[in-house]
Structure 1
Amino acid sequence: MLQNNPELKSKIDQLWNKFWSGGISNPLTAIEQITYLLFMKRLDELDQKRQADAEWTGEKYTSKFEGSWVPPEYKTKLTGRETDFELINIRSQDERKYGVSRQSLRWSEFKRMQAEEMLQHVQGKVFPFLKDLNGAESNFTHHMKNAVFIIPKPALLVEAVKTIDDIFEVMEKESKEKGQAFQDIQGDVYEFLLSEIATAGKNGQFRTPRHIIKLMADLVQPQLGHKIADPACGSGGFLLGASQYIVTQLAIKASSKDLTPDEDGFVRTSVAAALTKNAQDTLAKSLWGYDIDQTMVRLGLMNLMMHGIDEPHIDYKDTLSKSYTEEAEYDIVMANPPFTGSIDKGDINENLQLDTTKTELLFVENIYRLLKTGGTACVIVPQGVLFGTGKAFKELRQRLVDRCDLKAVITLPSGVFKPYAGVSTAILLFTKVWGPKDKVSKPATGHVWFYEMDADGYSLDDKRSKQEGYGDLQDIIACYRARDAATDIDRTAKCFMVPRSEIADEKNSYDLSLSRYKQDVFEEVHYDAPGVILDQLIQAEVGDVDEAELGKVQSGIVRELLELKGMVG
C-alpha cells in the first residue's frame, strides 16, 4: 500500500501542494485534473509497449498516435458529419491545415515544450484529442463531452508534468524491486488521491482496499465469458479486480511458470498481452459498471482504459432508480455500495419490493435482481444489515437465505476502511437460485459459513501500515474452499457452519450476526494471593533487602505497601 512507500507518498503530496498553491483547491476537481494528466502519461506508455509487443509477436497494431488527427468540429465542417478519417485521405490545402500530428500529442513529445507553448498545446490539442480518443460514438467520448481542462497556469502544468514523470519512475522502480503489479501501485495512487476528498465518508467516494477486492475475487472466482457488474463502481476497482483474477488464471493455464504471491499472499499478474485477441475482446465485453457521480464515471473509464480495456462499459446511471430496468443480466456482481443515506421514495425502482429508502438494503436487493439464476454476488455491507430489527432488514435476510444459497458471512474488523470510515462491515457471498417471482418449493440455503476476520494484514488505525504476514486473508480462502457442514460445527472456532433451520427458527428470525451463533470460551484464571502480590511489589521497589531491614526503608510507597500487607494478612 502507498503508506509503505514514503517516496511515492511524498511525490503525490508534492503534486497536491502544487495544485493547491496553483489555485485548484477543490479536492475532487484536482483529482479529475490530475487523472487527465496520469491518463495522458499512461496512454503514451501503453501505446509504446503495445507497439513493442506487436513487433515481437508479429501481430498487427495501429498506434493511437500514428498519422494525423482532426478535431471533431473540423470534421463536421469538412465532411458534414462527425466521422473518423485519416488526414492522408484529405487532399485540399484548406482541409490539411486543420490536421494535427498525432505524434505531437504524445506525453513524451509535449513535455519537452516551453511552458506557455505546452499549456496552449495541451489545452487546445491534447485534451480535445483525449476526449475524442475512441471516436464520436464511443461511451468514453460521450462522458468526456463536458469535461474541461482547467489548469490555469503554464508553471503549474510544467511542475505537474515533471512530478507525474517522477511518480511513474517511482512506480516502475517499486514494481521491479518488489514484484508488485504496476496496476496495484497505480491503484494505490488513486486510493491516496481519493483519500484527500474531504467528503469521502459522506459521499462514499473511496476505494475499497485492493487486498479486500482480491479476497472477494478469490471467493467468487470469475471466469472468462462471465458478465460481471458493479452497480456502484466508483473508480472501477472491483471491475479491475475481476479482470486481473481472470487474466491471472488464464496465464497460469497457458504457462508452467510459477507466479510469486504478492505482499498479501495473492497470486496475480496484470500482463494481458499474452491473451489472444478473441480473449481480450471477450474480457473487455464482460465488465459493466455504473455510478451516479459523473466525475467518478470519467475516473472509472480512464482507470480501466489505462489497464488495457479500450472500450469500458461504465455509465452514468442510478441503479436504484426507475430509469434502470436491467434484471437477471449478470453472472457475477462484486460491489461495495454506499452504506449511508436514503433515496427519494418516489424515484425507487418499482421492481424493488422492500419497503425502505435505506440504500444499503436496496442495493443488496437490487444486486439479487441483477443476477442471472445461478449467478453469484460478493458484496460488502454494514454489519447492521446482519441484525437490524426493522421489517425491511428481516425481509432482505430471509430473501438471501430462502431464495439464494447464502454461502458465507465474513465479518471484517472496523478499521478496514480507515482512514475513510470506521464502520464495522461484513462480506456476503450468495448465489441466486430462485427469482423474485418464482415459487420457492425448497429454501435454497443449506448451511451458512461464518468467519470472523480479526486482521487483514494491515494495522487497523488511520495509518494502515503493512504488518508481517497476511492476517486472515489466506486462511479465509483456504477454510472457505475446505468448508464441510458435517465437520465445521465447533462454534468456538474462528469459522463454523450454521444450518438454515437454526437461522430461520423463531428465536433467531434470520439473524445473520456471527455473535448470535458463536460460543464464547471462558478460561478460568488463577491469581496469586494478595499477600504474595504485595511481596512482589515490595521486592520490585527495594530489591534484595532482608525482611528485618524493611522497616528502615523510608520510601512512602514501601511503607504503604507494608501497611496494606498487614491489613490483608
Structure 2
Amino acid sequence: MSNLTGFVKRLRDIMRNDAGINGDAQRIEQIAWMLFLKVYDAKEQEWEFSDDNYQSIIPEECRWQNWAQDDKSGTALTGDKLLNFVNNTLFPTLKNLQVDASTPINKAIVQTTFADANNYMKDGILLRQVINVIDELDFSDYEESHAFGDIYENILKELQSAGSAGEFYTPRAVTDFMAQVIKPQIGETMADFACGTGGFIVSWLKELQKLVHTTEDEDAYSNSIYGIEKKQFPYMLCITNLLLHGLDVPRVFHSNTLLHDVLDYTEEDKVDVILMNPPYGGSEKTDVKNHFPTDLASSETADLFMSVIMYRLKKNGRAAVILPDGFLFGTDNAKINIKRKLLREFNLHTIIRLPGSVFSPYTSITTNILFFDNTHPTEETWFYRLDMPEGYKHFSKTKPMKLEHFRPVLDWWKNRQEITEDGFDKAKKFSVQQLTEELGYNLDQCGFPHEEEEILEPMELIRRYEEQRASLNAEIDQVLEEITSLLGGAIE
C-alpha cells in the first residue's frame, strides 16, 4: 500500500503546473470525477463477476479500463489526443447517457454525477500523469480500499478550507457522535435531506455495521440510507464516498428537498431516523416558501428544513439535527410556529450547545444539536453546554474537534444532572411550560459565558487571522450567490 503514501500530495504537485487549475476547490473537483470513474470501474468489475448478464451503462470506449489504464505498451492516450477524448467524447457521452425512472440507481448515478462536472486541466501530458497516479489504486484489495477511505476523508476535510465548499462538510467527530447517540438498529431507514458529501450517512453505516451478522442484516444495512443533495459537486463526492464504503446502490438523489410540498408527504415518505446539518444562513425566495404552510413559511433555509424533518419523521422515529443559535432565540412568526410545532408534536428531550469554532474555518456561527423523537409532546428539555476541551482556545484546521471531546456529554447523558459553573448554567432541565409560557419559546439556554480577550502567540495570531479570512470569504461567496440567484443571473 506504499502507493497510498502522499497520494494527495502527488496529485497536487502535478496539477500545480496546469494552467487550467485555479485553486483548491477546482483541484479537488478535478480529482473527484476521475476518482468516481476509477471507483465505479472497480464496482463494475465486481458486478460483471457476479452477473454474467451485467451490461454497463457506459459505452465501452468511455469505460475507465479502456481509456485511462496505461498498459505501458505505448498506446495509452496522452497529450492533445487525451485532452480531445476527455473534452469531446468522454464528457459529452457521460453527460448525455439515456436515463429514466426505470434505470437502476447504480447505473443512473453515472449520468447524474457528470451532469455538471468539468474537466479543468488544459495540459494533456499532466492529465495523463494524474490519471496514472489514480489508476495505481487497487480497489479490489480490501485493505487498500479500506485505507483509501481514510485518504478520501482527508480530501473531503480539505474542502473545509477551500472556500464555500466547506458548507458541505460536517466534522467527522460531530457526525460520529450524533450517530452513536442515535443508536442505529437493523431494519431502520435513516435519511439526510441535504447530505453534502455523505458524512452523516457514513457515520450511520459505521455504527450500524457493528450489528450486521447475517445476510439479511447485510441487505438491511445496504438499504438503510436515503439522501438528497442539491448541488452537483458534493453529490459527486457523496456517491464516490458511498461506493468506497461498499454500497452498491447508493440511494442518494441529486435534487432540492425544499421544492416539494410538505403537505404531500405520505407514510411511505417517512423514515425512522433523521441525521442532518441543514444549510443555514440562506434566504429562500417565494417559490420555495410556497411549498410550506403559510405559518411555517420562513425565508431562512434551516427553518424550512426543520419543517421537512417534522413532516418526514415516522411515529416513534428519532432525529438529531444541527441548527444555528438563531433558531434557538429567533422570535419571528415562522420560527415561533416551527418551535411550537416541535414542542407540541415531538419530544424535544435534549439540546447540546456546541463550542463556537467547531466549523472553523468555514464559519464561526455557533451551533447546537437538537435531539428529539416522535413519541409524545415535549414535557421537559435538557440543555447541556459543551465547553472547549482543556488546552484548546479554538478549534482549527490543525487542531480540529475529535470524538473524544464529546466524552463529557456522553458521561452526562447517561446520568443527567443540573450543573452550574462559575455562576453560569452548564446543564439544566426546563419544563415545556417554562420554555413556552415564561421564556416565549426562547431555547437559548445554558449558553456560553462571554469569553475574556485572548492574548495569542504571533504565529497562532496569523493562523487565526487566515482562518477568519477564509470564513469571511466563504460568507461573502454565499451572500453573492444569493444576490445573483435573486437577480436571476450567474456570476461568470
TM range (shorter): 0.7 to 0.9
Q: Which amino acid aligns with 1:241?
A: S
Q: Distance in 1 between matches of 2:72 and 2:326?
A: 51
Give the 3-state SS of the residue equivalent to 1:225 in structure 2: coil
Which amino acid in 2 is paired with 1:510? Answer: Y
Q: Which runs of 5+ in 2 are unaligned?
A: 451-492
Output aligned runs, 1:468-479, within 5 Å: 471-479=404-412
The letter for the 1-side match of 2:13 is Q
What secondary structure does 2:249 align onto?
Answer: coil
Q: What are the Cα deviations for residues 369-394 of structure 1, in whole angstroms up to 9, with x where unaligned? A: 11111111111110121112323332
Superposed, 1:38-53 pairs within 5 Å as 38-43=35-40
Aligned counterparts of 2:300 and 2:384: Cα–Cα separation in 1: 26
Task: Give the distance between the partners of 1:419 and 1:490, measured in 2 at CA.
Answer: 31
Find 1:414's aligned residue among 356, 363, 384. 356
Mapped to 1, the partners of 2:283 and 2:229 lie a distance apart of 16
Match of 2:154 in 1: 188
Give the CA deviation at 1:154. 1.7
Q: Indicate conservation of the 8 Å contact 1:134/1:140, yes or no.
A: no
Matched, 1:157 2:127: yes
Q: Which amino acid aligns with 1:463?
A: K
Q: Where does residue 50 of structure 2 map in the other structure?
A: 61
| Distance in 2 of aligned mates of 1:133 and 1:220 | 39
Say whether 1:509 aligns with 2:440: yes
- Which residue pairs with 1:143 in the alignment? 112
Say yes or no: does 1:350 pair with 2:292.
yes
Other-structure match for 1:293: 231
**Could you tell me which residue of structure 1 aligns to residue 432 of structure 2?**
500
Unpaired stretches in structure 1, ≥5 consecutive residues: 55-59, 73-98, 255-274, 435-443, 521-569
Counterparts in 2 of 1:465 and 1:519: CA distance versus 1, 3 Å? closer
Q: CA deviation at 1:326?
A: 3.1
2:129 and 2:389 map into 1 onto residues whose CA distance is 37
Q: Secondary structure at the match of 1:36?
A: helix
2:242 paired with 1:304: yes
Specify the SS of the correspondent of 1:386. helix
Q: Which residue of 1 aligns with 2:474?
A: none
Q: Give distance in 1, aligned partners of 2:189 and 2:294.
A: 22
Contact 1:234 1:300 (8 Å CA) reproduced: yes
CA distance in 2, matches of 1:314, 1:326: 18
If asked which structure has higher relative contact order (CA below 8 Å, sep 6+), I would say 2
Mapped pair 1:242 → 2:212: no
- Looking at structure 2, the residues matched to 519 and 149 of structure 1 have their Cα atoms a distance apart, in angstroms, of 47
Q: Percent identity at matched positions? A: 25
2:265 is matched by which residue type in structure 1?
Answer: E
Matched pairs, number: 428
Report how far residue 246 of structure 1 moved.
Answer: 0.7
Q: CA RMSD in A?
A: 4.1
Q: Is contact 2:191–2:271 with CA below 8 Å preserved after alignment? A: yes
User: Aligned equivalents of 2:96 and 2:386: distance in 1?
Assistant: 44
Shift of 1:105: 3.2
- Specify the code of the residue in structure 2 equivalent to 1:387: F
- Return the TM-score normalized by structure 2: 0.73
CA apart distance, 1:107: 5.7
Separation in 1 of the partners of 2:294 and 2:318?
19
Mapped partners of 2:217, 2:67: distance in 1: 28
Matched, 1:366 2:308: yes
Question: Counterpart of 2:200 in structure 1: which amino acid?
Answer: F
- Separation in 2 of the partners of 1:181 and 1:388? 44
2:198·2:241 contact (CA, 8 Å) conserved in 1?
Answer: yes
Q: CA deviation at 1:101?
A: 10
Q: Equivalents in 2 of 1:101, 1:424: separation in Å?
A: 46
**Greater alpha carbon shift after TM alignment, 116-125 vs 139-148:** 116-125
Residues 377 and 429 of structure 1 are in contact (CA less than 8 Å); yes or no, is this contact kept in structure 2?
yes
Mapped contact 2:195–2:227 kept (Cα < 8 A): yes
How far did 1:129 drift?
7.4
The alignment's TM-score, normalised by the length of structure 1, stands at 0.64
How far does residue 341 in structure 1 lie from its aligned partner after superposition?
Answer: 1.6
**Which structure has the bigger radius of gyration?**
1
